[in-house]
Amino acid sequence: MDIADMLSPEGVLPALRVTSKKQALQELAKRAADVTGQPERAIFEVLVERERLGTTGVGYGIAIPHGKLAELDRLHCLFARLETPVEFDSIDEQPVDLICVLLAPEKAGADHLKALARVSRLLRDRTICDKLRGTESRDGLYAILTESAASHAA
């Protein structure tokens, strides 16, 4: 599954203004509710529950919050570039400014893990992250994410 299959241009937030990890998750849950048609509160709770298990701040200013919702019919992805980095309890203790949320159906199983691996592989590429940090338009960010993902396919 390509990122373009999970991410729509409406799911790209080019300049999200938040001041904390909790606020970032709240805002992303709100946007995810619009994209998925699922309740904002349910999305927020699944993301917070996942954070309780361990941070999704993977280092280098990147976080990949994720979770499963029974009512989803397919995988969904949202991407946010934060205006100002926020503390995210990352494994390298650095603040986060790039967040990619992945939401999967409860029965997604291996597809959820494959999507998580695909997003992780893409965001490990420093060149791509530099491009994402230097791009302010939704369309530009969407193009980088979807075009770059195609070249990083497993």
Residue 152 annotated in active site: no
Let me know: does 42 contact 48? Beta carbons within 8 Å.
no
Q: Is 35 exposed, middle or buried (0-12, 13-18, 19+ CB in 10 A)?
A: middle
Q: Which of 66, 76, 112, 152 is flagged as catalytic?
A: 66
What gap in Å lies between CA 123 and CA 68, rounded to an integer?
A: 21
Let me know: does 66 contact 102? Beta carbons within 8 Å.
yes
The residues carrying an active-site annotation are 66
